[in-house]
Homo-oligomer: A and B are copies of this chain.
Amino acid sequence: MYLVDGLQYANWSEKIFRQMREGGVDAVHVTIAYHETFRETVLNIEQWNRWFEQFPDLIFQGRTADDIARAKQSGRTAIFFGFQNPSPIEDDIGLVEVLHTLGARFMQLSYNNQSLLATGCYESEDPGITRMGRQVIKEMNRVGMVVDMSHSADRSTIEAAEMSERPIAITHANPHRWHPALRNKRDEVIRAVVENGGMMGFSLYPHHLRGKSDCSLEDFCRMVADIASEFGTSNFGIGSDLCQDHPDSVVTWMRTGRWTKDVDFGEGSAEQPGFPEMPNWFQDNRHFGQIAEGLARVGFDEAEVAGLMGDNWYRFFESSFSARKV
């Protein structure tokens, strides 16, 4: 069994890399851009290059699914880059290939707001995939960068799932039917993604959980079982959305970037503007084992648990990251 996390955005440090090793995490898709321009994204890549140089016994850069196996064999964690917004490609489709060469493997077409490519889930209107969006999806398909619609609106997501010639992903979200948050996904959205071969990672971020920080592991696992009874297990995994050790100024950056002068609380509120407390059964990378146990307790067999904890992501990575044969 491989242990793969479909999304994290932590204040990374040696401490967290060591926790990844303690938790036996073989691979993590890490967010390296929220609102960053191309140049700012490259600065974030430079920071990762320094970490790869400083901690070669703990982490290395992942580029293909084989790197997950290599990570397991060598007792390290493979780090795959992704963006939660298309801001790193600015208005230049040529940057898709450039950033893929630098290791980017996932890109959200929008983050809450309208982007040049698609609509975000906080907009009141969703006109669907834009002209540039169609071109960029085609280019992402060509080079092997996954279309991620975690923060996108419904119509845009369904159109992307149908338009993309390769399966897409919702790396981190939960079902709207379980917890009707704006970021959680309605059945028809989940169906469009998984029926086209795509993946969905279940989120552990409190705003996506029923009962938020107080959500029990059992309730979370029963939600997974409920979805599995309808959609099977093979197109699902974990996308923890772990935002560890960040000061609250970072959640403000995530929510407002440079696009507004007003305060926008996103999924939070004026009373609770900061990062929410993670549930007690998932505080950091050392706690994935508890989720695996919880999934077994609600009735998943060994192969299903292995699939949900990482093998399904492994298979998806395998078919997603290489250039298409011409």
Contacts and interface: CB of A to CB of B under 8 A. Distances in A.
Interface of A: 38-39, 42-43, 45-46, 49-50, 56, 92, 94-95, 97-98, 101-103, 326
Contact of A42 (B46, B49, B95): B95
B97 A49 contact: yes
Nearest to A50: B94
A46 B326 contact: no
Contacts of A95: 42, 46
Contact of A326 (B50, B56, B94, B326): B56
Given A46-B94, A46-B98, A49-B94, 18 more contacts: A38-B39, A38-B42, A39-B39, A42-B98, A43-B94, A45-B98, A46-B92, A46-B95, A46-B97, A49-B97, A49-B98, A50-B94, A56-B326, A98-B102, A101-B101, A101-B102, A101-B103, A102-B102
22 contacts: A38-B39, A38-B42, A39-B39, A42-B95, A42-B98, A43-B94, A45-B98, A46-B92, A46-B94, A46-B95, A46-B97, A46-B98, A49-B94, A49-B97, A49-B98, A50-B94, A56-B326, A98-B102, A101-B101, A101-B102, A101-B103, A102-B102
A326 B54 CA distance: 12
Contacts of A92: 46
A68 to B, nearest CB: 20
Contacts of A97: 46, 49
A38 B43 CA distance: 12
A201 B50 CA distance: 34
A50 B103 CA distance: 19
The residue in A42, A56, A103 that gathers the most chain B C-beta atoms within 10 A of its C-beta is A42
